[in-house]
Structure 1
């Protein structure tokens, strides 16, 4: 089988490419150039899109003995991921750019081009597993190493995309991957994992948004209001600097009457109002999702002991009942969750199998 191995420059994608080649597939390595100015993206342990990473990927391909190319997708990445990130924050929502990158870049732009060039599949270093179900459909499942599981950010993949995907590390732990990389002579064996958002060079999301949005933001400041009293307890320079559940960096001038911390409960970008209140105000047990993406057959209702919803990339699973009404997904959480923000993804599981995902549009209490 002809396989295109997406090589980020890290240890996971290098070992995934090596395993695909060892399985006697005809493998070609590619590195995605995603930045118009690579020096503006993170470096070292913080990056996945830098010149340094491209060089690491090239050296790994040389060791494995496979052809290697760099594909420039910087314009597509900027439009579909970076611009989307800015637009979502400006609208008071909290997006997941890694999930959007998987949806729009790695398993759309790259896979489309790979198939057009005659490749059969795209292999990545994601920790997730693929199985063929009793109905013949390809199922996406959690990785064997639940601590490294990345099925949440893959919950946007369709059946057609899954049918042309390979995740060679799904049955493996990170420690085994690093040892294997060292045994194979891959210099990235000890390279630290990338963290956070690759296109925010210093890790200061709020500062980056303030600089980039400028006059595009619907407001340039506003009031921070206490939920219980309606009292103005602070001010801010833009709603894009906040997310639901945020506790730190609020710079409130008036302490809460009970002395307890306040959290961001609501963001209204049109008026510029940020509402804060006690932690109890974050608890929700109803979630509405829109723009669903299904990994297989579209369900109408899911309920039972194995049905769960994950609401953050590194969050826990919440037992749930799910009802699907066309392009709308209604989720009842059987245990309340905290700090769930519009714009995040709700990924639905049946046991370890990923059923699909939806973008959170609203939350509430029964």
Structure 2
């Protein structure tokens, strides 16, 4: 293994800390940076512990004896991730800020910063395996810890950034990472994992959206017969497949309403009783746009797809239409696909790339 100069993106959590530890032990020239992306200037309800994260990152670097810096990417994050998130919800879609944060920030702006500073690569604490095959191609696989695998969030990364990405935790499980952190005496070894929107913190999505997007009330309509069942405060507060928080009772034993559609004209929120017969809830074929491949586009034919994080891979057939779009026909209909959702393409454990459900 050749010695590289690597800039580690430290979040303040244990995963990125152990990534830095492992790279240092492998003999690389390691430095670390905290990406300052969001500081909750709007005082949104919830926990945005960026200062605490920063101090944990600084303490890790002191413990490891590696240089530390802060990289201010707040403007880029707002333009490339927050605007994407808000525009998506305002347009009736269901965007994925974590996927876009990886593509646009960690392996976009931050990577370009690292390269400009003379680094060979950037590293993160993602649970994903990166390998170079005999032909010199860089390939990406699911992490060894299937409960923590984060390859889905890298589906839109693209080929060039992948060659500069390092994922030291790919072959480890979370308990192993915790043990390594403790044995090395890292100050954040026992720190809980963060939850919530990428870099924004433990903020409820509904609260975040209502801070930036005004309410646009409209009727809640039963899709099967057009009956108006109530009123909602805005289509952006709902997504396809949602059952909780709709705000209307079913008044029918053992039946629950589920969101099956959103119509911008008239701000109509469509609901139906959850089940195989719910109109619009199940999808047999999907048009996918914004395709990104991790080396080269596969030919049309059978493969597997993951339609959301934590869902299993499912068999489907890919029909390439052009360089940017494709159709996916599922072997079995998929529940609650929403426009804007990221679809990941697989061949077994290997992640081939991804796109956005149109």
Cα drift, residue 160 of structure 1 = 1.0
Report Cα offsets for 1:287-340 as digits up to 9, x if no partner.
21101111111123131xxx2111112222111111111111211111222111
* Counterparts of 1:278 and 1:3, CA distance in 2: 53
Q: Are 1:249 and 2:245 an aligned pair?
A: yes
* Counterparts of 2:151 and 2:101, CA distance in 1: 14
2:189 aligns to what SS in structure 1? helix
Cα drift, residue 211 of structure 1 = 2.5
Cα drift, residue 201 of structure 1 = 6.0
- Structure 1 segment 302-317 matched on structure 2, within 5 A: 302-303=301-302, 307-317=303-313
Q: What is the aligned partner in structure 2 of residue 2 from structure 1? A: 5
Cα drift, residue 207 of structure 1 = 3.0
* Counterparts of 1:319 and 1:154, CA distance in 2: 20
Q: What is the aligned partner in structure 1 of residue 346 from structure 2? A: 349
Q: What is the aligned partner in structure 2 of residue 227 from structure 1? A: 223
Cα drift, residue 284 of structure 1 = 1.6
Q: What is the aligned partner in structure 2 of residue 276 from structure 1? A: 271
Cα drift, residue 156 of structure 1 = 1.1
Q: Are 1:82 and 2:82 an aligned pair?
A: yes
Q: 1:185 to 1:257 in 2, by over 3 A?
A: closer
Indicate if the aligned counterparts of 1:8 and 1:31 stay in contact, CA closer than 8 A: yes
Indicate if the aligned counterparts of 2:44 and 2:211 stay in contact, CA closer than 8 A: no
RMSD value over aligned CA atoms?
1.9
* Counterparts of 1:201 and 1:348, CA distance in 2: 28
**Aligned positions, number:** 350
Structure 2 unaligned spans of 5+: none
Q: 1:201 to 1:178 in 2, by over 3 A?
A: closer
Indicate if the aligned counterparts of 1:42 and 1:201 stay in contact, CA closer than 8 A: no
Q: 1:198 to 1:105 in 2, by over 3 A?
A: closer
Indicate if the aligned counterparts of 2:94 and 2:338 stay in contact, CA closer than 8 A: yes
Moved more, 350-359 or 315-324: 315-324
* Counterparts of 1:65 and 1:355, CA distance in 2: 37
Q: 1:338 to 1:275 in 2, by over 3 A?
A: same
Indicate if the aligned counterparts of 2:292 and 2:354 stay in contact, CA closer than 8 A: yes
* Counterparts of 2:28 and 2:226, CA distance in 1: 64
Q: Are 1:20 and 2:16 an aligned pair?
A: no
Q: What is the aligned partner in structure 2 of residue 364 from structure 1? A: none
Indicate if the aligned counterparts of 1:227 and 1:277 stay in contact, CA closer than 8 A: yes
Indicate if the aligned counterparts of 1:42 and 1:198 stay in contact, CA closer than 8 A: no
Indicate if the aligned counterparts of 1:264 and 1:275 stay in contact, CA closer than 8 A: yes
Moved more, 278-287 or 19-28: 278-287
- Structure 1 segment 150-189 matched on structure 2, within 5 A: 150-189=150-189
TM-score by length of 2: 0.93
* Counterparts of 2:123 and 2:207, CA distance in 1: 35
Q: 1:15 to 1:67 in 2, by over 3 A?
A: same
* Counterparts of 1:213 and 1:234, CA distance in 2: 21
1:315 aligns to what SS in structure 2? coil
- Structure 1 segment 205-216 matched on structure 2, within 5 A: 205-214=205-214
Report Cα offsets for 1:56-111 as digits up to 9, x if no partner.
00100111110000000011101111111111011111111111100100000011
Report Cα offsets for 1:9-50 as digits up to 9, x if no partner.
00000000111111111111000001144794798xx65x60
Q: What is the aligned partner in structure 2 of residue 300 from structure 1? A: 299
Q: 1:348 to 1:278 in 2, by over 3 A?
A: same
Cα drift, residue 126 of structure 1 = 0.2
Q: 1:198 to 1:116 in 2, by over 3 A?
A: closer
